[in-house]
Amino acid sequence: MIWESNASLAPYNTFGIDAKAERLVHLESEADVAAYALHPDGLAKQTLLLSGGSNMLLCADVPGTTARIAWTGRTVVRETEDHVWLEVAAGESWHETVRFSVQAHWGGLQNLSLIPGLVGAAPVQNIGAYGVELADSFDSLRFFDWTRQEIRTMDAADCGFGYRDSVFKKQLKGKGVILSVTFRLTKRDHRFQTSYGAIQDALASTGVAPSVESISDAVMAIRQSKLPDPKVLGNSGSFFKNPALPAQEVTALAELHPGLPQYPQADGTIKVAAGWLIEHAGWKGKRVGNVGMHTQQALVLVNYGGASGPELWEHAQRVQASVFEQFGIQLEPEVNLIG
Ligand SMILES: Cc1cc2nc3c(=O)[nH]c(=O)nc-3n(C[C@H](O)[C@H](O)[C@H](O)COP(=O)(O)OP(=O)(O)OC[C@H]3O[C@@H](n4cnc5c(N)ncnc54)[C@H](O)[C@@H]3O)c2cc1C
Q: What is the CATH number of the domain that holds 275?
A: 3.90.78.10
Going from the Cα of 166 to the center of ligand 1, the distance in angstroms, rounded, reads: 13
How far is ligand 1, taken at its centre, from the CA of residue 76, in Å? 24
- Do 198 and 93 share a domain, yes or no? yes
Both 46 and 146 in one domain: the answer is: no
Contact 282, 322 (CB under 8 A): yes
Candidate list 140, 164, 166, 216, residue with the active-site label: 164
Same domain, 116 and 211: yes
Same domain? 272 vs 312: yes
Return the ligand 1 atom nearest residue 178 CA.
42
One domain for residues 222 and 249: no
Task: Give CA–CA dist 152/147, Å, rounded.
Answer: 12
In this structure, are 93 and 216 located in the same domain? Answer: yes
The finding on whether 167 has its CB within 6 A of some atom of ligand 1 is no
Q: Measured from the CA of 176, which atom of ligand 1 is nearest?
A: 43
* Active-site annotation holds for 205: no
Q: Per the structure, how many domains does the chain have?
A: 3
Q: Could you tell me the end-to-end alpha-carbon distance of the chain, in angstroms, rounded to an integer?
A: 25
- Band of residue 43 on the pLDDT scale cut at 50, 70, 90: confident
- Together in a domain, 319 and 239: yes
The CA 52 to ligand 1 mean position distance, Å, reads 7
Whole-structure pTM over 0.75, yes or no?
A: yes
CA of 334 to the centre of ligand 1 (A): 10
Same domain for 262 and 128?
A: no
User: Which one of 40, 69, 98 terminates a domain?
Assistant: 69
pLDDT at 336 over 90: yes
Last residue of a domain, one of 35, 54, 69: 69
Q: Give the model's confidence band at 306: pLDDT under 50 very low, under 70 low, under 90 confident, else very high.
A: very high
Of 259 and 141, the one with more pLDDT? 141
In this predicted model, what pLDDT tens digit does every residue of 6-26 receive, in sequence order?
999 999 999 999 999 999 999
Q: Are residues 80 and 62 in the same domain?
A: no
User: How far away, in angstroms, is 122 Cα from ligand 1 center?
Assistant: 6
**CATH number of the domain residue 61 falls in:** 3.30.43.10
% of the chain with per-residue pLDDT over 90: 89
Q: Is 234 in the pocket of ligand 1 (CB under 6 A)?
A: no
Cα four-point dihedral sign 166, 167, 171, 174: negative
DSSP assignment letter at 10: G
For range 329-336, the mean pLDDT: 95
Query: Is pLDDT of 45 > 90?
Result: no
* Nearest Cα to Cα of residue 238 among 17, 113, 54, 109: 54
Q: Answer yes or no: do 59 and 120 share one domain.
A: no
Ligand 1 pocket check for 178: Cβ under 6 Å: yes
Examine the domain organization and report whether 88 and 168 are in the same domain.
yes
Boundary (domain end) residue, out of 30, 54, 69: 69
Residues 59 and 90 in one domain: no
DSSP label at residue 339 = -
- Structural domain for 58, as ranges: 2-69
Say if ligand 1 is within 6 A of residue 108 CB.
no
Q: 117 to each of 33, 43, 69, 225, 258, how far by Cα in Å?
A: 20, 24, 11, 19, 36
Active site residue 334: yes
Q: Which residues contact 30 (CB under 8 A, 6 or more apart)?
A: 71, 144, 179
Atom of ligand 1 nearest to the CA of 50: 30
Output the pLDDT for position 263. 87
